[in-house]
Amino acid sequence: MWLRIVVAAGVVMAALAGCAQGRSGSTAGTSDGGTGPLVSCGQVPTSTGPAAALVTVRVESPGTADAGAAIPVTATIDVHQAGPRIITRPTTSKVLVTQGQSVVGGMSSPEESHDIPVILTAGASRPAQAVPSHVTLTRCPPAGSATGAPLPPGTYGLVAVVSYGQDPLQGAVGGGSRAFQLVSDAAVIQVR
């Protein structure tokens, strides 16, 4: 079964940076009976930049999956209003596992290393190719580790984060070097 969620764009870069740097020390959820409570590694970010008012991002995933499993995820950019082309960045785009407004896992590795242009034509739906096509249902990794333990059973959200910049070939101020993000609403997934 696939769950399809249409996403409203929102805003926050600092929360995503905090997620990459480590734990905030707060907890989300409950103990899984063996490895302690879920630890938050940041807050769910919101969309930023000029494209945030022009598009929404939607994410699709299975509705249920086993803890620790790698599951497929598809993200799509729906363009509601035409705008200049954007350049999406796989190296900083990701899929987050959330509980409420807390990030508790995910943060997939990039599958592509080259920036990907996306043309913003009103009414179009574009694949968000910069977003990883899979995410592993594990907790935020502990300091010094690359992977976390499987998530405890429960209900979680999957959030796609599309990192982008303006296209320097279309007159972007500063050569298109500013970093922005487009963030989906959470697709609900039941982890067993």
The pLDDT tens digits for 105-143 are 987 666 667 999 999 999 999 999 999 999 999 999 888
Look up the domain containing 160 and give its range.
2-191
**Residue 164 near residue 150, CB atoms below 8 Å:** no
DSSP letter for 1, please. -
**Residue 140 near residue 21, CB atoms below 8 Å:** no
Average pLDDT score over residue span 28-33: 39
Query: Is the confidence at residue 36, as pLDDT, over 80?
Result: no
* pLDDT value of residue 73: 95
Number of domains into which the chain is organized: 1
The pLDDT tens digits for 63-76 are 999 999 999 999 99
Strand residues in the chain grouped as ranges (E) = 2-5, 27-28, 38-39, 55-62, 64-65, 70-72, 74-79, 83-88, 94-99, 102-106, 116-120, 125-127, 134-136, 154-166, 180-183, 187-191
* Amino acid sitting at position 173: V
Provide the pLDDT confidence category of residue 8 given band limits of 50, 70 and 90: very low
pTM: 0.79
**Residue 167 near residue 39, CB atoms below 8 Å:** no
- Rounded to 5 degrees, φ, ψ at 105 are 180, -170
Average pLDDT score over residue span 14-21: 35
Residues 84, 152: Cα–Cα separation, whole Å: 43
Q: Are strands 70-72 and 134-136 parallel, antiparallel or unpaired?
A: antiparallel
**Residue 46 near residue 16, CB atoms below 8 Å:** no
* pLDDT value of residue 159: 97
* pLDDT value of residue 31: 35
Query: Is the confidence at residue 175, as pLDDT, over 60?
Result: no
> Which residue in the block uniquely carries the two structure tokens 């960045």?
89
> What's the mean pLDDT when you consider all of the chain?
81
